[in-house]
Amino acid sequence: MIEEAIEFLGLKERFTIENRMNRQHKIILALFLSALSGFIDILGLFGIGKMFLSFMSGNSTRLAFYLAEGEFIQALPYLFLIASFVFGAFLGDVVKSRFPGEVLLAILTTETFLIFISFMMIFLDIKDEWSYLPLTVAMGLQNTMHIRVDDKIIGRTFFSGVLHSLGTDISQAMQKNKPWSAPLLDLVIWVVAVSGAFLAGILQPNIPTQTLLGLVLIILLLVIVIIIMLNKKQPDFR
């Protein structure tokens, strides 16, 4: 009985350690995705006339503004961006349904392929808004990844939602209904997203968009390799 209890405690400790590692890996991945969305948004602002690639609230507002002004030609690119984002969400849900056991890997691989398409379009000197539509599809696709940490779904591009969660989590922490780590995680996610946008803003004037997208592709491929390795060690990290 004593030996069984010791064995049980050992397994329980191992389970706790593995869960903690799994949680840390998910947070790191979510932070990377948040930085990526901020980074890519700035590429859109610089590259196609101050249009957002993941911030559809801003695009929807500008679409409405141009429609109200009767400037339908100016409104059309925003409509294309919004439609691309919606298609990305549709595509992401299809991918999740087809690969339920490898959601993270399947979504990231598809996202990498979409960014590669945009990279090739710019390489082929297609430098108008058409070359950025695959990036918007990729951002819509990314939002279908539900990286759950505690009671949060993180790693998406809805930063208004992150700030809203920050406010409510501060309230819950002050009422002692949640630990202070909950609003801290929201704050870190927002800061990392802003940092990604800040980095792109610094690099964009001096480095071609094609080169920056090439760097993004290399990093994404490394992340995919890391996830494959983690899946072998932690089968529930998917």
Q: Inform me whether the pLDDT recorded for 17 exceeds 50.
A: no
User: Are 78 and 92 a contacting pair, CB within 8 Å?
Assistant: no
Q: Inform me whether the pLDDT recorded for 217 exceeds 90.
A: yes
Q: What is the pLDDT of residue 54?
A: 82
Q: Inform me whether the pLDDT recorded for 120 exceeds 60.
A: yes
Instruction: Work out the end-to-end distance of the chain between its first and last CA atoms, rounded to an integer number of angstroms.
Output: 36
Average pLDDT, the chain: 82
Average pLDDT over residues 137-151: 83
Confidence of residue 67 (pLDDT cuts 50, 70, 90): very high
Closest CA to 42 of 33, 30, 52, 34: 52
CA-to-CA separations, 169 to 33, 173, 184, 188, 190, in angstroms, rounded: 22, 6, 9, 13, 14
Rounded-to-integer distance, Cα 180 and Cα 172, Å:
9
pLDDT (tens digit, 9 = 90+) per residue, 23-66? Answer: 788 888 888 888 888 888 888 877 766 778 888 888 899 899 99
Confidence of residue 233 (pLDDT cuts 50, 70, 90): low
Q: What is the pLDDT of residue 12?
A: 43
Rounded-to-integer distance, Cα 188 and Cα 28, Å:
11
Rounded-to-integer distance, Cα 14 and Cα 20, Å:
10
Rounded-to-integer distance, Cα 201 and Cα 143, Å:
23
Q: What is the pLDDT of residue 3?
A: 43
